[in-house]
Amino acid sequence: MRHTSGFSLLELLIVIGIVGVLAAIVPLTIRRDQIQTRQAANLLAQQIQLSRFEAVRRNRFAGIYFPANGLSFIVYEDTNNDRTYTSSGDTTIQTYNLRSGDYAKTQLQLSAAATILFDPRSFLVNTAAPGTVTTFRMQSTDNSNYVWRVEVTTQGRVIRVIQ
């Protein structure tokens, strides 16, 4: 009868395999809010660019309306030419709800309802002065320290910066 002390090679391989699986899963659950916030900021940046291109393509004012709650935004064409969003007078191109799907834990930080509007030449209309940068902050609802800023210059250029 042979007496061995310690662990067999099979037992060690099983433990290493379990530790490896756990090490792969834990970062995914920790970073989910960061990934969702980044994806929501990328979506917002893409939709700002889309509204700029739609303004040029349709030869009309087009923009994005942000309700004050920060839970959604609406890409629209300013059909009635009043340079503000009205649900009855303007054509809605797309509505995005940030409380569903991949963006369930993200929110825009807004103090009041906001509108970003492009003219048919693709320039940003509603800015205070030339050279002004319009900033939108996308924040994770789980971790208030994780914020993406989406910045738009008066020329309509979109910049994404992590803060």
Assign 3-class secondary structure to 31-73: CHHHHHHHHHHHHHHHHHHHHHHHHHHHCCCEEEEECCCCCEE
Selection from 23-32, 48-57, 122-131 with the highest mean pLDDT: 48-57
11-162: CATH topology: minor pseudopilin epsh fold (3.55.40)
**Domain-by-domain residue ranges, the chain?**
11-162
Predicted model pTM: 0.76
pLDDT tens digits for range 121-133: 988 886 556 667 7
Q: 10 Å Cβ neighbour count for 92?
A: 13
Q: How do residues 69-124 score in pLDDT, each as one tens digit?
A: 888 899 999 999 888 898 888 999 999 888 777 777 788 887 778 888 999 998 88
CA distance 109 to 70: 6
